[in-house]
């Protein structure tokens, strides 16, 4: 079989392959959409929900630290007014705990910002890496599915065509040969007639020339 010829054994096989390819296109698009949606949801969750949460926690815990410091100062002021040593151990312990919780909230807020930046970079890299695959499932493979559909339709149309009339095709060369032979005979006949007319004309001209010479000879004798 020549490399330029198609060896199609089954139109149903083309249709099955086209259906499988179309299913792969749908699955590929769904996978890309799901992956991008997961990344978008994660960035949105970190940026809107977690950052909002930790910002609020920093403000709230800052207020608790301020309140704890006020309690320590108040306790010290009361003790000084009484002229004794300040018994502010509990207040200082509460202040230390409030400061630790404030520092924890600040660390978590900073970590959330870092994760947002990192995730945005990863999302950009991911979209760049899957761009060729996205082009394939969005443009190349759908085009191939369309070509397979048209191929199947053309083959179906070809199969549904009526078979050629072999008897008519076989008789066509004989008719053409007979017509050619008749035309050749007619041309040969015409050429023969033209040749005969040319011969008669030549003989007539020869006789006239001889008569003219005889007349000239007679005149010279006279």
Position with higher pLDDT, 194 vs 28: 28
Q: Which domain holds residue 104?
A: 11-161
pLDDT reading at 169 higher than 50: yes
In terms of domains, do 118 and 180 share one?
Answer: no
In a domain, 80, yes or no: yes
> pLDDT by residue (tens digit) across 136-159?
999 999 999 999 999 888 888 888
Mean pLDDT score of the chain: 79
In terms of domains, do 100 and 24 share one?
Answer: yes
Domain stops at, among 125, 140, 161? 161
In a domain, 126, yes or no: yes
| Number of domains observed in the structure of the chain | 2
In a domain, 55, yes or no: yes
Give me the pLDDT at residue 11, please.
Answer: 84
In terms of domains, do 186 and 156 share one?
Answer: no
pLDDT reading at 32 higher than 50: yes
Cα dihedral value 155, 161, 166, 168, nearest 10: -140
In a domain, 6, yes or no: no
In a domain, 221, yes or no: no
> pLDDT by residue (tens digit) across 201-218?
544 555 555 555 544 444
On whether the pTM is more than 0.85, the answer is: no
Domain stops at, among 161, 188, 205? 161
In terms of domains, do 128 and 37 share one?
Answer: yes
Q: Using alpha carbons, list the distances in angstroms from residue 127 to 33, 39, 41, 123, 169.
A: 11, 10, 15, 6, 62
In terms of domains, do 29 and 130 share one?
Answer: yes
* Three-class DSSP labels, 72-130: HHHHHHHHHHHCCCCCCHHHHHHHHHHHHHHHHHHHHHHHHHHHHHHHHHHHHHHHHHC
């Amino acid at each position: 079989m020549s490399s330029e010829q198609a060896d199609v054994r089954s139109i149903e096989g083309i249709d099955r392959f086209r259906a499988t390819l179309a299913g792969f296109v749908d699955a590929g698009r769904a996978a890309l959409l799901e992956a991008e949606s997961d990344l978008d949801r994660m960035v949105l969750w970190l940026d809107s929900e977690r950052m909002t949460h930790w910002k609020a926690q920093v403000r709230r815990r800052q207020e608790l630290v301020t309140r704890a410091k006020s309690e320590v100062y108040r306790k010290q002021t009361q003790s000084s007014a009484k002229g004794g040593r300040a018994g502010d151990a509990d207040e200082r312990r509460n202040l230390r705990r409030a400061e630790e919780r404030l520092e924890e909230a600040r660390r978590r807020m900073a970590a959330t910002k870092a994760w947002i930046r990192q995730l945005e970079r990863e999302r950009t890299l991911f979209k760049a890496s899957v761009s060729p695959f996205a082009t394939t499932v969005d443009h190349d493979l759908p085009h191939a599915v369309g070509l397979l559909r048209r191929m199947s339709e053309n083959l179906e149309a070809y199969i549904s065509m009526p078979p050629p009339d072999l008897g008519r095709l076989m008789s066509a060369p004989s008719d053409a040969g007979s017509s050619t032979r008749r035309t050749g005979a007619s041309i040969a006949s015409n050429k023969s007639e033209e040749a005969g007319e040319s011969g008669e004309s030549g003989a007539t001209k020869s006789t006239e020339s001889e008569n003219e010479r005889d007349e000239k000879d007679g005149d010279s004798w006279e």
